[in-house]
Amino acid sequence: MARYGMVIDTTRCNGCYNCFLACRDEYCGNDYPPYSLGQPMTGHFWMRIIERERGKYPKVKVAYTAVPCMHCDDAPCVKLAQNGAIYRRRDGIVLIDPVKSKEQKNLVSSCPYRVIYWNEEKQIPQKCTFCAHLLDQGWKEPRCVEACPTGTLIFGDLDDPNSAVSRALASGKTELLHPEYNMKDKVTYIGLPKRFIAGAVVFGDKDECAEGVKVTVTGEDGKKVVQTNNYGDFELEGLLADKPYSVKIEAPGYKSQKLDVKTKIDVYLGDIILAKSTAKKKSAVKKK
Ligand code: SF4
Ligand code: SF4
């Protein structure tokens, strides 16, 4: 018996919504008793894509985070449901019984991830089922995973060390979307959006993009080093939120610069002009 889980690699997600559309295609107007009844044509997001705009002009980007039911091993929805209306199968999939859950609207607010939706017409709560009906027929993955063109959604048997999902977990890069909920989620993430520090370095004497300049960012999570690209741009991702960092910019023959920043929001430092170190020394001699 498999024990199903998912890893979502947000660094690959381009916000195409194929997963969401595949889910709608599978469930809108289709009943799969005893696991689910048809999803309404509007208002439900069993696979929700959170879009977050990051940074400020001219350094702006959008982070997409796919959020299905986490199929938690310690799920408050299971605990709150009356008559076993929400239950966990032996393979770990958490399901809402469409018959037993009738009229239990309070279950919508039992999930802190807010992934349970109310079907007004049928008077039942509904959510992602990991396509349990398809897995029972021998499918290896749910429709959303099959539809994802970028490999963002990685699904499989958590107890098989060779499965793609187990290998993703073994990478040590995964984390929970909300560890503070403490619900033993079986959906985990790679590359959740945190904070970035970015800037553009210019050689002041030539008024040229400063390519290949060393940028060192140091904070309580350690030291990270990158080099500017051929436009003089640099970017460091995955930094801690609301923490102080120092940014050191070094190029041979130029005076180093050190900037102190706080990652309350994503930080774009704009143009950083490097001055020739020899020019500085001459001006210092003149002053004497
Ligand atoms: S994510 Fe929410 S709906 Fe899904 S199992 Fe956990 S508590 Fe229940
Ligand atoms: S299908 Fe894949 S790439 Fe497209 S939005 Fe969903 S998770 Fe992201």
H or E, element range at 145: helix 143-147
* Domain spans, the chain: 4-190, 195-279
Q: What pLDDT was estimated at residue 251?
A: 97
**What share of the chain in percent tops pLDDT 90?**
94
pLDDT in tens, 65-94: 999 999 999 999 999 999 999 999 999 999
Q: What pLDDT was estimated at residue 56?
A: 86
Angle at the Cα of 197 from the Cα atoms of 57 and 273, rounded to 5 degrees: 75
Does residue 287 surpass a pLDDT of 70?
no
Q: Residue 91 corresponds to which tokens in the numbers above?
A: 């393979």
Question: What gap in Å lies between CA 133 and CA 34, rounded to an integer?
Answer: 9
Q: Is the CB of 111 under 6 A from ligand 1?
A: yes
Q: Which among 239, 233, 247 has a CA at the least distance from the CA of 263?
A: 239
Q: What pLDDT was estimated at residue 288?
A: 41
**What share of the chain in percent tops pLDDT 70?**
96
Q: What pLDDT was estimated at residue 252?
A: 96
What average pLDDT does the segment 121-144 reach?
98
Q: Is the CB of 37 under 6 A from ligand 2?
A: no
Position in ligand 2 atom list of the atom nearest CA 15:
5
Pick the CATH number of 4-190 from 3.40.309.10, 3.40.190.10, 3.90.1140.10, 3.30.70.20: 3.30.70.20
What average pLDDT does the segment 30-42 reach?
97
195-279 fold? Immunoglobulin-like (2.60.40)
Q: What is the pTM of this model?
A: 0.88
Closest-approaching ligand to the CA atom of 62: 2
Q: Is the CB of 94 under 6 A from ligand 1?
A: yes
What average pLDDT does the segment 7-32 reach?
98
Q: Is the CB of 14 under 6 A from ligand 2?
A: yes
**Residue pair 164/154 in contact by the 8 Å Cβ criterion:** yes
Q: What pLDDT was estimated at residue 286?
A: 47
Q: Which among 218, 224, 226, 232 has a CA at the least distance from the CA of 261?
A: 218
Alpha-carbon 198 to chain mean position: 20
**Residue pair 158/92 in contact by the 8 Å Cβ criterion:** yes
Question: What gap in Å lies between CA 154 and CA 87, rounded to an integer?
Answer: 24
HSE-CB of 96 using CA atoms within 13 angstroms: 31
**Residue pair 155/73 in contact by the 8 Å Cβ criterion:** no
Does residue 232 surpass a pLDDT of 50?
yes
Sign, CA dihedral 223-169-150-60, equals negative
Q: What pLDDT was estimated at residue 279?
A: 53
Q: What pLDDT was estimated at residue 23?
A: 98
pLDDT in tens, 186-212: 999 999 999 999 999 999 999 999 999
DSSP tag of 38: P
pLDDT in tens, 49-62: 999 999 988 899 99
Angle at the Cα of 89 from the Cα atoms of 87 and 94, rounded to 5 degrees: 50
